[in-house]
Amino acid sequence: MTDRKDRMEFVHANSQFHSVLLDPNLCVGCTTCIRYCPTQAIRVRDGKARIFEERCIDCGECIRRCPKGAKKAVSDPLLLMGGYECRVALPAPSLYGQFGTDFTTGEIFEAFYSLGFDEVFDVAWGAVKATEITREILKLPGPRPRISSACPVIVRLIQQRFPSLIPNLMPILPPSEIAAMEVRRQLAGISGKIGVFFISPCTAKVTAVRMPLGFPTSFIDAVLSFQDLFLPLKKAINANRSKPPARKEHLLQRMEGLEPGLGWARSDGELEALHIDNAVTVDGIGNVIELFEAIENDAIDGIDYIEALACPGGCVGGPMAVENAHVARTTMRIRSQSRGVEKAEAPSPTVPVSASSGIGAKTESVPAEKSLAIYSWSEPILPKPVQVLDNDMAKALMMAEEIDILLEKLPGIDCGACGAPDCHALAEDIVRGMASFEDCIIAARQKKE
Amino acid sequence: MKFSYMIPRLDFTAAGKASTDTKRRLTQIGLPIAFIKRVTIAMYEAEMNVAIHGGGGEASVEVGTDRITAIFSDQGPGIPDIDLAMQEGYSTASEEIRNMGFGAGMGLPNMKRNADELRIDTEVGKGTVVTMVFHIEKGAS
């Protein structure tokens, strides 16, 4: 989708990358997106939506809600593959949900080879690893409930809206990074430049690879979207079905036993893999916010772990997914539970996950305690206090009082016509000097009468 | 800055509104995270007490540069024995309330733990006023 970049106006200021962009030619300024943005990061100005970059957490909710298709997901272009000698595809577990169960994972693997990837490695392996580490961490004392950090939107949401929950985040790399790290470990000996391509439905991952959370640099070189790869993969599968490709030797082998990791594609999958009591799954960013509010009130007892996913249904509901999220969810349930799908046909050989995969002496599996050290965060996650009105508390307090006074004068119907999501946001914008009272058309009309 | 909330009787969907809204306000003012957490937890407990035991009531909050004062008042049955009520695990909540996951007898102890000052003025048959004060440390934000 990035080929649109040059044709599209960047509405974000350039200091920070975001994978959610607006196409001003399609935006009609209808204010739908501003109401659904969970961080109130969008305003309509001069008839077009504008995103405040410091507030945007790349959740993609506006992409999902925009009735005009004016919000775009920006991922990396396929042509980046040209810059590497050894191209590794890292399919997110949810990729397999884009294809019905009449397509085997083996066929999808083969299709990647046909598209010019030299190696394929399942992110599901990283999810299996993350499950092991999570189990280890939950044995240790520490804040409860622990919150999964696999979804980058959740981490950014907590930084911004729930900073008191930062210590509750699982301090480990997400499955995609764990998998990418493993790929680099296994391919360490080869000559030629290795390019690791994460195949993802997630806008926030595009950003997270550029600006990782909890570690300095990503092990992934580029994020390719399901949208860009779905048709090429499907075509390749069909071509391979009518004319089976010549078998090539690959350094990384397909693994068996990744079903629990594949389950991570949908909400509940992480908990099903973990097998722990007292855990909760929550999906959809509005539901996540509601639960986190309750946790901050200390209103929820006895929960050890929360699998929180920003997209409805989990990663299968990602903004760059192709298949209907509900259909994909069901497909993933089947794929992560039954192995009947894979038994029917096995176009490429597999090895058990316990034996790990790959080449030579590097294949011994790493014990869980050691994994903890390898895959833990190396940098702290810091709060992002974008809501603070002023760094001087006395001044901020005065501004808060002004907001209350303004709110009494505003109609309180949250119509959005001023371009802010609700009356409170307008009052805040006015106090911050970013809007004026006259922006409220209802108040202006009352004045006239 | 002063603001107040109505706390409806036994309305569990509205429960937590006062503490959640106060949290948002305090976040905007830029108070330290740990401090906001204390206020939020103590206010939530007080709010639930008013909703469950007090038959509904009111919360009023005053934010100054050095302190936050939160006053919860109700016209409920009052507390006959405050010392007993302050004991962890002691609760007069009905079986029904307990079945809903409330009434574990941690409310008042939790408020005492999180507030810097806690005052309870209560009269049996008339109602209860709970006053909590939280001191804002200088240069803490």
Considering the domain architecture, whether residues A220 and A357 belong to the same structural domain is answered as yes
CA distance A336 to A263: 5
The CATH number assigned to the domain holding A98 equals 3.40.50
Q: Which letter does DSSP use for residue A297 in this model?
A: T
The CATH number assigned to the domain holding A59 equals 3.30.70.20
3-class SS of residue A200: strand
CATH C-level class of B2-135? alpha beta
- Residue A229 in tokens: 């790869």
Cβ contact, residue pair B28, A389, below 8 Å: yes
Counted domains in chain A = 3
Considering the domain architecture, whether residues A99 and A191 belong to the same structural domain is answered as yes
Closest CA of chain A from B44, distance in Å: 6
C-beta separation of A87 from A118 below 8 A = yes
Give the containing element (helix H, strand E) for B38: helix B33-52
CA distance A329 to A337: 12
Considering the domain architecture, whether residues A13 and A92 belong to the same structural domain is answered as no
Residue type, A240: N
Considering the domain architecture, whether residues A258 and A219 belong to the same structural domain is answered as yes
Closest CA of chain A from B58, distance in Å: 18
CA distance A230 to A218: 24
Question: Which residues in chain A show pLDDT less than 70?
Answer: 1-15, 338-366
pLDDT tens track for A313-356: 999 999 999 999 999 999 999 998 865 445 444 445 566 665 44
Closest CA of chain B from A392, distance in Å: 8
- Strand A279-283 with A305-309, pairing: parallel
Length of chain A: 449
Q: How far is CA A304 from CA A147, A168, A250, A339, B128, in A?
A: 9, 10, 41, 31, 35
DSSP string covering A117-170: -SEE--HHHHHHHHHHHHHHHHHS---SSEE---SHHHHHHHHHH-GGGGGGB-
Cβ contacts (< 8 Å) between B136 and chain A: which residues? 393
Q: Give the domain-ending residue among A73, A101, A119.
A: A73
Q: Is the reported ipTM for this assembly greater than 0.90?
A: no
Considering the domain architecture, whether residues A328 and A430 belong to the same structural domain is answered as no
Residues spanned by the domain of A424? 393-448
C-beta separation of A241 from A347 below 8 A = no
Indicate if the alpha-carbon torsion angle B132, B136, B137, B141 is positive or negative. Answer: positive
- Determine contact: A293 vs chain B, CB below 8 A: yes
Considering the domain architecture, whether residues A7 and A134 belong to the same structural domain is answered as no
Cβ contact, residue pair A296, B37, below 8 Å: yes
Rounded mean pLDDT, B9-13: 82
Residue type, A253: Q
Best residue of A40, A160, A164, A289 to probe chain B, by most B CBs closer than 10 Å: A164
Cβ contact, residue pair B30, A390, below 8 Å: yes
- Residue A190 in tokens: 């080869």
Considering the domain architecture, whether residues A7 and A108 belong to the same structural domain is answered as no
Which chain B residues in 65-104 lie under 8 Å from chain A, judged by CB atoms? 65, 101, 104
Q: Give the domain-ending residue among A55, A73, A91.
A: A73
3-class SS of residue A279: strand
Q: Answer yes or no: is pLDDT of B17 > 80.
A: yes
Cβ contact, residue pair B34, A164, below 8 Å: yes
- pLDDT confidence of residue A361: 35
A207 falls within a domain:
yes
Q: How far is CA B125 from CA A219, B11, B77, in A?
A: 67, 22, 5
pLDDT tens track for A41-88: 999 999 999 999 899 999 999 999 999 999 999 999 999 999 999 999
Q: Which letter does DSSP use for residue A19 in this model?
A: S
Q: How far is CA A405 from CA A269, A345, A411, A424, B36, in A?
A: 48, 69, 12, 11, 23
Cβ contacts (< 8 Å) between A297 and chain B: which residues? 16, 19-20, 40-41, 44
Cβ contacts (< 8 Å) between B89 and chain A: which residues? none
Closest CB from B27, B41, B65 relative to A297: B41
Any alpha helices (H) in A170-262, and if so which ranges? Answer: 175-186, 203-210, 226-242, 259-262
**Start-to-end C-alpha separation, chain B:** 18
- pLDDT confidence of residue A352: 61
CA distance A327 to A321: 12
Length of chain B: 141
Q: For A363-367, B74-78, B109-113, which range has the lowest pLDDT when averaged over its residues?
A: A363-367
C-beta separation of B25 from A427 below 8 A = no
Residue type, B68: I
Closest CA of chain A from B126, distance in Å: 28
Considering the domain architecture, whether residues A349 and A407 belong to the same structural domain is answered as no
- Determine contact: B135 vs chain A, CB below 8 A: no
A98 falls within a domain:
yes
CA distance A254 to A415: 54
Considering the domain architecture, whether residues A246 and A360 belong to the same structural domain is answered as yes
Q: Please calculate the CA angle A150-B17-A278 and round it to the nearest 5 degrees.
A: 40
Considering the domain architecture, whether residues A134 and A38 belong to the same structural domain is answered as no
A304 falls within a domain:
no
CA distance B50 to B47: 5
CB atoms within 10 A of CB A268: 19
Of the candidates B70, B96, B92, the one whose C-alpha atom is nearest the C-alpha of residue B79 is B92
Cβ contact, residue pair A164, B37, below 8 Å: yes
CA distance A201 to A28: 26
Q: Please calculate the CA angle A355-A360-A361 and round it to the nearest 5 degrees.
A: 80
Q: How buried is A383 (Cβ within 10 angstroms: 0-12 exposed, 13-18 middle, 19+ buried)?
A: middle
A147 falls within a domain:
no
Rounded CA Rg of chain B: 15
C-beta separation of A276 from A135 below 8 A = yes
What are residue A62's phi and psi, to 5 degrees? -70, -30
Q: Answer yes or no: is pLDDT of B43 > 60.
A: yes
- Strand B2-7 with B57-63, pairing: antiparallel
Which chain A residues in 242-281 lie under 8 Å from chain B, judged by CB atoms? none
Considering the domain architecture, whether residues A66 and A31 belong to the same structural domain is answered as yes
Residue for token pair 């006239």 = A448
The residue extents of the domains of chain B are 2-135
Cβ contact, residue pair B40, A404, below 8 Å: no
Give the containing element (helix H, strand E) for A287: helix A285-296
What are residue A21's phi and psi, to 5 degrees? -125, 160
Q: Answer yes or no: is pLDDT of B140 > 60.
A: no
- Strand A279-283 with A194-200, pairing: unpaired
